[in-house]
Structures are given as structure tokens and as C-alpha cells.
Structure 1
Amino acid sequence: MIKTAWAIWKGGFKDGGGTISTETGVLNDAPYGFKARFENGDGTNPEELIGAAHAACFSMALSLMLGESGLTPEKIETHAKVTLEKVGDGFEITASHLSVVAKIPGADQAKFEEIANQAKIGCPVSKLMKANITMDVKLES
């Protein structure tokens, strides 16, 4: 299974801007840029999108693992806080913190924590941080 998204950037780092789109059309030329990333300006940014992806992926993984344990959640609400920090001469995404509140009939706190920890490790977006990133490049004239 392969899913596609793309970004188009025009201009310099601080004065330029770009758009982000997905093959499903959920994001269609969504604006992003320096101000959205570093100054809380309008638009989105990579860290926000990673946070949304991590929260969604984790929630789905948790639902799956709860179901495998005979539990069906009524609601799982996950917030992800992704940290971008200056490290050395550049920036790094250093953390993603998940805050989870769930309503699961028949579950106790200990079982919930056990399954949530398994979902945190097993979620494909959690594993992304260790992924092999490949690339091909082409310069247009």
C-alpha cells in the first residue's frame, strides 16, 4: 500500500511559502510557511501534520489492540505534541508526546495502560522515526 502527498514551495525560506496536498484531496493546496512553523502564523507546518498523523495512527492501533483483547472503545481521543528544537546548527524533531483519554467499557486502568503502551510501540507512525528514508532527485532547467 502506498499513499502519496506532495508539497510545492516558492521563494526564500522566510519570505516564501508553499502548499501541501494529498492524493485523497483531504489536503488540497493547504498553505504552509515560515510564519506557520516558527511564529504561529496562518497555515500548517510539518510538525502539526506529523502530530495529526501520530494521533490518528495511535488511536487506530489502540482500537485494534483493544479489540484483540475483547474490548471495544466508545471513544479514544489522542492529542500529539510534536517538539521541534534547535540542535547544533539545525533543527530536529526530538519528541512526540501522546495524551490519551478513552472510554472503554470493561477496561481497568492497568489493562488500558498495558495495551496503550503496546499501541504506542506498534503504531506505524511511531515506527517512522526509525524508517529507511529513500529519495530520488531531478533538477529542472
Structure 2
Amino acid sequence: MSITKTASARWQGGLKNGKGTVSSESGVLKDTPYDFRQRFEGEAGTNPEELIGAAHASCFSMALSMILGEADMEAESIDTTATVTLAQDDSGFSIPAIHLVTRVKMPGADKAAFEECAEKAKAGCPISKLFNAEITLEATLES
């Protein structure tokens, strides 16, 4: 099985004075603005790291639900936060770490079994795997 989803971004202008919009196929994001101040200066609004965090938190939560089910457990709720770290070093910017915090309500669950499932979800969710993925590029210059 293969599922394809798309999202798009448009950027106009220079890095610090420019602005962009991001949209998703589903319409959840539709020309949502982002710019330098939102990404690097803490101004309100979205940025790529926040979107990666949302994707990772939601993917992990679904994966954990699946893996718990395979272990004959079902959570009442799974609440996950992903903290994405953007860092700068001599070679430029990178994302060296993502920290997942999940809180699962599942009365009577075995703690060791739960922790094993959480580790499997961390390693196995598609967004976790993305960070080791082959990234391909098709670039076209228009004049």
C-alpha cells in the first residue's frame, strides 16, 4: 500500500524581509503565513519546526495506539507533545533533536508492557523513520 499526500509553500522576497505561505492538500493549512520573525524571533505564527512537531506528535500517538492494540491494550487517551530543537553551528542550521513527551491514560495497564510499546512506537512511527529517509529533489529554474 502506498499513500501520497501533498503540501506546498510559497516564499517571496529575501530571508529577513520576505514572507511565505504554506498550504496542505486537506485544506487544514491554506495560505497560512510564515516568515523570519515567526521562525527565529518567537513572533506568533507557524514555522517549519512547529509543523514537524505537529506531524511527529500526531504520528507517534497513532502508532502507539496501534502497538498498544497489538498488545491487547487500549488507551482512553494519548496526549503527546513534540519539542523540535533548531540549532545553529559552523555548518548552518539543523534539527539535532526532537523530544517526545506522551501522557497515556490507561487504568490497570502494566507499566513495563506500556513502556515497551512506547519505545516501539518511537522507533516505528513513519515520521520518526523520516529523519533517516532518502530525500529526492526535482528542481526547475524558471526565468
Moved beyond 3 Å, runs of 4+: none
- Which residue is equivalent to 1:31? 33
CA distance in 2, matches of 1:100, 1:85: 24
Size of the aligned set, in residue pairs, is 141
Identity %: 59
Corresponding residue SS for 2:136: coil
Cα distance in 1, alignment partners of residues 44 and 31 from structure 2: 14
Map 1:68-87 onto structure 2 (within 5 A): 68-87=70-89
Letter in 2 for 1:105: P
For residue 53 of structure 1, give the secondary structure of its aligned residue in structure 2.
helix
Cα distance in 2 for residues equivalent to 1:68 and 1:137:
42
Q: Is the CA contact (8 Å cut-off) linking 1:71 and 1:106 kept in structure 2?
A: no
In the alignment, the residues of structure 1 paired with residue 108 and residue 73 of structure 2 have an alpha-carbon distance, to the nearest angstrom, of: 7
- In structure 1, stretches of 5+ residues that fail to align are none
Q: Matched residues in 1 for 2:114 and 2:87: separation? A: 31
Q: 1:102 aligns with which of 87, 101, 104?
A: 104
* Aligned residues: CA RMSD: 0.8
TM superposition score normalised by structure 2: 0.96
> Larger deviation: 37-46 or 20-29?
37-46
Q: Match of 1:118, as an amino acid?
A: K
Match of 1:90 in 2: 92
Quote the Cα distance in structure 2 between the aligned partners of 1:86 and 1:100.
27
Equivalent of residue 5 in structure 1, options 4, 7, 11: 7
Unaligned runs of 5+ in 2: none
- Is 55-64 or 36-45 further displaced after alignment? 36-45
Q: Could you tell me how far 1:107 is from its partner in structure 2?
A: 1.1
User: If the length of structure 1 is used for normalisation, what is the TM-score?
Assistant: 0.97
Q: What's the offset of the Cα at 1:20? A: 0.3
